[in-house]
Amino acid sequence: MQQHNELIVLTDLMLLTVIVQRGTADLVAQVALEAGAQEATVFYAHGTGVPQKYLGVLSLTVDTEKEIVYIVVPAEQADRLFERVFVLAKMDTPGMGMLWLTRLHKMATYVPHEVAARFGAHLESRE
Please state the separation of Cα 120 from the chain's center in Å.
Answer: 20
pLDDT digits (tens, 9 = 90+) for 44-79: 998 765 555 555 555 555 567 899 999 999 899 999
pLDDT digits (tens, 9 = 90+) for 84-125: 999 989 999 988 889 999 999 988 888 777 777 766 666 665
pTM for the full predicted model: 0.77
pLDDT at 52: 53
What digits encode the pLDDT tens for the residues 8-29? 888 889 999 999 989 999 999 9
Q: Which domains does the chain have, with CATH numbers?
A: 14-102 (3.30.70.120)
